[in-house]
Amino acid sequence: MDILTLMEEIQATARTGLAFSSNEYDRQRYQHLLTLVTNHYADLLQLPENEVLRRFQAETGCITPKLGADAAIFNQAGQILLMERVDGSGWCLPCGWVEVNETPAEAALREAYEETGLIVEAVRLVGVYSRKAGYEYSPHSMTAIVHLCHVISGSLTLSHEGKALQYWALDAVPRWHARHELYARDAWACLQSGAKWQAVSQ
């Protein structure tokens, strides 16, 4: 277990404990844990300690992983639509965080429209992928839900979140973002399986 994974578990335990514990001694212990991990996060992220603590304390209740939604969109040539990220981390599927009172399928459709200008329909669940906190991608654990999507209408329009939009052959992508190559190849396998497509429940 690396230090970021450890910190993620400690801060989640502390924040959940502060949300549910009524015993003053336990609350003091949870607060101490949160203060300790806040100091280390502040050093790693180069943020003031009070700012890190403010962000943690703004969330209450049981702390759960971040939930992401991804849209796998292929053209008739079998190429997948990818966006080159402005942060320089590579090419990714249209994706983003699921918002409150939004299903993962709804989030995938919204993100696809916001990032590509295309109106799409989610036709198959590709898979659910979990990623632990770590240095490689993020200081937070997350779960991504990937849907295979079919284009209904629209024209490619680049958003402020990307540097370029392009359909790519899977083997030609110069640099994949995070684990998006895995998502894309699993989506391609779903597409090739011949299973009947049907709209995913919204």
Domain membership of residue 129 (yes or no) is: yes
Say yes or no: 7 and 32 in one domain.
yes
Radius of gyration from C-alpha coordinates of the chain: 20
Domain boundary (27, 57, 87) is at: 57
Say yes or no: 145 and 52 in one domain.
no
Q: Which amino acid is at 100?
A: V
Tell me the per-residue pLDDT of 164-196, one tens digit each, with 9 for 90 and over: 999 999 999 999 999 999 999 999 999 998 755
For 107, the domain range is 66-192
Q: What is the mean pLDDT of residues 141-163?
A: 94
Supply the pTM of this predicted model: 0.71
Q: Is 40 helix (H, G, I), strand (E, B) or coil?
A: helix
Domain membership of residue 30 (yes or no) is: yes
Q: What local confidence, expressed as pLDDT, does residue 135 receive?
A: 56
Say yes or no: 169 and 83 in one domain.
yes
Tell me the per-residue pLDDT of 68-112, one tens digit each, with 9 for 90 and over: 999 999 999 999 999 999 989 999 999 999 987 899 999 999 999
Pairing of strands 66-73, 142-154: parallel
Say yes or no: 102 and 20 in one domain.
no
Structure tokens at 70: 């991804």
Q: What local confidence, expressed as pLDDT, does residue 190 receive?
A: 93
Spatial separation of the C-alpha atoms in residues 156 and 119, rounded to whole Å:
10
CATH of the domain at 187: 3.90.79.10
Domain membership of residue 8 (yes or no) is: yes
Helix and strand element counts for the chain (H, E): 5, 7
Domain count for the chain: 2
Say yes or no: 15 and 38 in one domain.
yes
**Distance linking the first and last C-alpha atoms of the chain:** 37
Structure tokens at 103: 């299903």
Long-range CB pairs of 134-138, under 8 A, 24+ apart, other chains included: 134/2, 134/4, 134/5, 135/2, 135/4, 137/178, 137/179
Pairing of strands 95-97, 80-85: unpaired
Spatial separation of the C-alpha atoms in residues 95 and 110, rounded to whole Å:
9
Tell me the per-residue pLDDT of 125-150, one tens digit each, with 9 for 90 and over: 999 999 887 656 666 788 999 999 99
Q: Which amino acid is at 33?
A: L
Spatial separation of the C-alpha atoms in residues 43 and 38, rounded to whole Å:
9
Domain membership of residue 118 (yes or no) is: yes
Q: Pick the closest to residue 131 from 2, 5, 3 (CA basis).
A: 5
Q: What local confidence, expressed as pLDDT, does residue 123 receive?
A: 93
Tell me the per-residue pLDDT of 18-45, one tens digit each, with 9 for 90 and over: 877 889 989 999 999 988 888 888 887 7
Structure tokens at 28: 């003091």
Say yes or no: 84 and 183 in one domain.
yes
Domain boundary (14, 39, 57) is at: 57
Q: What local confidence, expressed as pLDDT, does residue 61 receive?
A: 62
Domain membership of residue 126 (yes or no) is: yes
Say yes or no: 50 and 70 in one domain.
no
